[in-house]
Structure 1
Amino acid sequence: MSNTTSQQMILGMLIGSVGNHQGAWRRPGSRVEDSHDLSLFTDIARAAERARIHTLFIADGLTLDRDQVRTKPFAGLEPITLLSALAAVTEKIGFVASVSTTFSEPYNVARQLASLDHLSRGRAAWNIVTSAWGEINFGKPLPNHAERYRIADEYVRAILALWDSWEEGSIVLDREAGVYADPERIHPIDFSGEHFTIAGPLNVPRSPQGRPVIAQAGSSEDGKAFAAEHAEIVFTAQQSLADSQEFYRDLKRGVAAAGRNPDDVKILPGVSPILGRTEKEAIELHRELVNLIDVESGLVRLSRQLGHVELSDLDVDGTIPPERLPDIAQVQGRQSRYGVFKQLAVEEKFTIRQLIEMEVSSSGHWVPVGSVEQIADQLEERFLQRGADGFILLPSFYPEGFTYLTDELVPLLQERGLFQKEYEGDTLRERLGLPTPSSVNLVAGSVQGAS
């Protein structure tokens, strides 16, 4: 591959517990004992910052599967709480917190994220999650897939209005005159929609970035339409270069059709490399991790990923009959991830065991296996061939797999001119190459919730 390029990729890193692979915690030295301890996450955040990773990304879940927890640790730490603590021990790296629009309220979330942006001096981002499950803990039914996105659209519009309710320069700080803030520059939003009614204004001032960065991870048709309208980072999952290129082209076209600049939306597929200093070492590590998989619990996870299709009567070394897998439009869970697994099952003829390996190692994200040089080549190809603006790295296991990423893969990408050697800019927005939104001169009654 080429050694230099004028283009540079964005790299984020998803962190949670001691590795993305289900069996990672069983390896000696995994630090699983620290999986709810701030010391582990502090070490991860500081190492990622030393590598100049743009942002940390924390997924979230709102349920606990008692059967699954038998074979896999469940970090379970609430993202905004954890990221607020990490903001105090880092200086440059960004923070993407996942928060559900189905099981939370806009005013609270707007306030929490604005607070995180202040505490981190402009490093906060919100990953919008519509939630495919969790209703058992919130006393209300789960809306269908399309309705969840309609709710999310209204929710985001409400939050943006709250963040914009303070104009730039609202805080005056005139000690002599005794004026702290100018109330004429702080506005009610009088938001009235189908699902939310919010008077405003927000009780947290305009944040350092103007607004936290907006991220989104759905790749279904509903998800892509939503991303085209609102997202600035899109976290997605494709297995091949061709699929990545198709998604990239399709979403960028959608962004343009929505009246936005396609360069203002960064598409970052997830990749969970299993890498070593040599290909042989990487293959051995992959084999070790495969041998740590609990097939029974993996089958349960795969069934849920496939919309709860029944699999227990099938041979794990055989394939899934195509007629057992419904059309994607009938699935009310995670449609985009279902599509990835259905394609692997039907078109690629993956066995159930292979699908389980895919689920427990990456939840459907790309899992290349190879030397540091080989993985760098593959990332470079997808980036330069317009399959991505960068990647979200999902460390397969900790600490060695994480260290290979930060101390070996990243320096190689920097050597090739593909990744930043220093942070540039004062905020996460600036470091991602995203525009800083200007405040809107809102007046009472000017914001409507219906869309």
Structure 2
Amino acid sequence: MHLNLFAYGCGHHSAAWRAPDSAFDRIGDVTWWEDLARTAERGHLDAFFLADGQSLSPVPGPSWFLEPLTTLTALARATGRIGLVSTISSTFWDPFHAARLSAGLDHISAGRAGINVVTSMTDAEARNHGMDRLPDHAERYARAAEFIGAVTALWESWPTGASPEQAVPVDHHGRFFDVDGPLNIPATPQGHPVLFQAGASEPGRDLAARYAEGVYAVAWDLESARDYRLDLRRRAAEYGRDPDDLVIMPGLVTFVGETEEQARAQQRELNELLPVQDSLDQLSFFVGQDTSGWDLDAPVPELPPLAEFTGPAGRYGTVLRILASSPGGRPTVRDLLGYLAAGGGHATFVGTPEQIADEMERWIVDGAADGFNLMPPTLPGSLDSFVDLVIPVLQDRGLFRREYTTGTLRGHLTA
């Protein structure tokens, strides 16, 4: 299987920054990120991934701080084998700028760079880029497709071994971008950076199926993950691609303990640190009703079926899937807030290293994933536990590499 670390702040759980051992005061220190990258490389993970936002987050706690491409360039000098993936917004970035910076990272890292192309999410971000609001969904994805085409053409415009005079103009003149080219940096050690995408909507899935080599997915349970993977592979085949060229990695939150009880205690202790009112406000938005009077330690009240819901269906559907498939019966309100806080509805495995490896193996064998985008609820603790306890179990079962066998990110994904 393929494993990617999605590193974020003090961890993906919304209360991680409030924990007694929080690294809140280190997230602006590049040595913090270097330490995390070295740990991930010690576990022989495929890649180290940083997301990005173009505005302050409304959620309490640390959000975006150091700019990802700058940070990953520093990490390229602190590591030797692990891939380095940065989010880039096709809504706000220019193709030439994106192609040049990412190609530079690929050269500096000796072929370990990748970019995750997104269309961004909030009007607050748009207002930092001269817009009143984000363009509509269809326009953002049309722009993203043209952006990827222009960036790829730029990456390929100066072939390996060619002199600058032999570089080929791009002459891209489309609806959104005008780019003459060629790029003023030659082809990179792995040809060009690896392209990732995280499409969930219809146009997002099409974009991922058409262009992506790696796909970050959102799935709470095996069934929805398998449906997504089958759909994406079908679309890729319709575009004339080999579906096996797509590495699909659902997000995965893990709480690891020597016993299941210990792992659940870790989860419970973090959940108890959640700012209750903020969490209930978020839940109210997800379920389309006032949740302020719900008893935190009582089971979640019955909710109407998805067909009767008129709000954001994706988030509501996630809540319904969590309620339907949670271990031990219907979760309490506090449990539900914790699941949403630790990854926003991504798969959450809680237990011993063997139990977590069992479930990961089941997803792979049943066709729900090619690997996972690891989202540790706390950093560095949850990452350390995964690398030190879960990785050896996966290795002993022949499910994960014991050593790197290639030097490039594309090589890791195809080996």
Correspondence 1:38 to 2:30: yes
The residue type equivalent to 2:402 in the other structure is K
Deviation at 1:428, TM superposition (A): 0.8
Question: Relative contact order (C-alpha < 8 Å, sep 6+): which is higher?
Answer: 1
Q: Counterpart in 2 of 1:76?
A: 65
**Aligned-partner SS, 1:77:** coil
Question: Residue deviations 1:68-121, cap 9 Å, x none?
Answer: 33xx22242211011011001000000110111111111111111111101111
How large is the RMSD of aligned CA atoms in angstroms?
2.3
**Aligned-partner SS, 2:406:** coil
Deviation at 1:277, TM superposition (A): 1.2
1:345–1:351 CA contact under 8 A, matched in 2: no
- In 2, the alpha carbon distance for the partners of 1:107 and 1:188 equals 12
Correspondence 1:19 to 2:3: no
- In 2, the alpha carbon distance for the partners of 1:33 and 1:264 equals 40
1:117–1:208 CA contact under 8 A, matched in 2: yes
The residue type equivalent to 1:197 in the other structure is D
Correspondence 1:135 to 2:126: yes
Superposition pairs for residues 187-336 of structure 1, below 5 Å? Answer: 187-302=168-283, 306=286, 311=290, 315=294, 318=301, 325-326=309-310
- In 2, the alpha carbon distance for the partners of 1:338 and 1:165 equals 45
Question: Residue deviations 1:199-246, cap 9 Å, x none?
Answer: 111111111111100101122222111111011101101112222221
**Aligned-partner SS, 1:165:** coil
Deviation at 1:326, TM superposition (A): 2.5
Deviation at 1:302, TM superposition (A): 4.3
2:3–2:372 CA contact under 8 A, matched in 1: yes
Superposition pairs for residues 145-164 of structure 1, below 5 Å? Answer: 145-164=137-156
Deviation at 1:251, TM superposition (A): 1.0
Correspondence 1:124 to 2:148: no
TM-score by length of 1: 0.84
| Structure 1 residues 288 and 354, CA gap change in structure 2 (3 angstroms) | closer
The residue type equivalent to 1:135 in the other structure is A
The residue type equivalent to 1:59 in the other structure is A
Correspondence 1:93 to 2:82: yes
- In 2, the alpha carbon distance for the partners of 1:192 and 1:254 equals 27
- In 1, the alpha carbon distance for the partners of 2:22 and 2:6 equals 17
The residue type equivalent to 1:95 in the other structure is L
2:221–2:325 CA contact under 8 A, matched in 1: no
Q: Which runs of 5+ in 1 are unaligned?
A: 1-8, 171-180, 435-451
Deviation at 1:398, TM superposition (A): 2.4
- In 2, the alpha carbon distance for the partners of 1:29 and 1:347 equals 32
TM-score by length of 2: 0.91
Deviation at 1:281, TM superposition (A): 0.5
Q: Counterpart in 2 of 1:414?
A: 395
The residue type equivalent to 2:87 in the other structure is S
- In 1, the alpha carbon distance for the partners of 2:135 and 2:284 equals 21
- In 1, the alpha carbon distance for the partners of 2:143 and 2:238 equals 22
Deviation at 1:321, TM superposition (A): 5.1
| Structure 1 residues 311 and 132, CA gap change in structure 2 (3 angstroms) | farther
**Aligned-partner SS, 1:204:** coil
Superposition pairs for residues 299-448 of structure 1, below 5 Å? Answer: 299-302=280-283, 306=286, 311=290, 315=294, 318=301, 325-326=309-310, 339-341=317-319, 343-344=321-322, 353-433=334-414
Deviation at 1:402, TM superposition (A): 1.5
- In 2, the alpha carbon distance for the partners of 1:153 and 1:208 equals 25
**Aligned-partner SS, 1:362:** coil
The residue type equivalent to 2:152 in the other structure is L
Deviation at 1:31, TM superposition (A): 2.0
1:122–1:426 CA contact under 8 A, matched in 2: yes
1:101–1:152 CA contact under 8 A, matched in 2: yes
1:129–1:216 CA contact under 8 A, matched in 2: yes
Deviation at 1:341, TM superposition (A): 3.8
The residue type equivalent to 2:250 in the other structure is P
| Structure 1 residues 103 and 204, CA gap change in structure 2 (3 angstroms) | same
1:275–1:371 CA contact under 8 A, matched in 2: yes
2:99–2:151 CA contact under 8 A, matched in 1: yes
Deviation at 1:359, TM superposition (A): 2.2
